[in-house]
Amino acid sequence: MFCTGFLLNLSNPKMPIFYLALLPGDIGLLLAVIALVELVMVGCYVAAAHRARALLSLPRRRRALNRGAGSRMIGACLPISVR
C-alpha cells in the first residue's frame, strides 16, 4: 500500500510541472526534493492509517466514531435546513 500511494502521488504531473515552470534550472535536484517530500508524506499517511486501524479494531470504538461523525453531519446540515 505504501508503494502504491507513493507512486500514485509521484506520478501526479501537476505539482512537478508547476515547480519546473518556476525553477527550470535545477530539474534533478527538484525531482529529488519532490520524491523525498512525497516519501515522507506518504509515510506519515501510512503511519496514521495504521494507528487508526489499530484504534478502530474494536466495534465499540467504531460505533462511537460513526455516531460522532453522524452527529457532526446533522449539526452541519441544521443551519442550511433552517433557512
Rounded to 5 degrees, what are φ and ψ at 26?
Answer: -120, 70
Sign, Cα dihedral of 51, 55, 57, 59: negative
C-alpha neighbours within 13 Å on the C-beta side of residue 3: 0
| Greater model confidence, 3 or 53 | 53
pLDDT(16) > 80: no
pLDDT-derived band at 8 (thresholds 50, 70, 90) equals confident
Whether pTM exceeds 0.85? no
Mean pLDDT of 41-52: 90
DSSP states of 11-69: T--HHHHHHHHH-TT-HHHHHHHHHHHHHHHHHHHHHHHHHHHHHTTSHHHHHHHHHHH
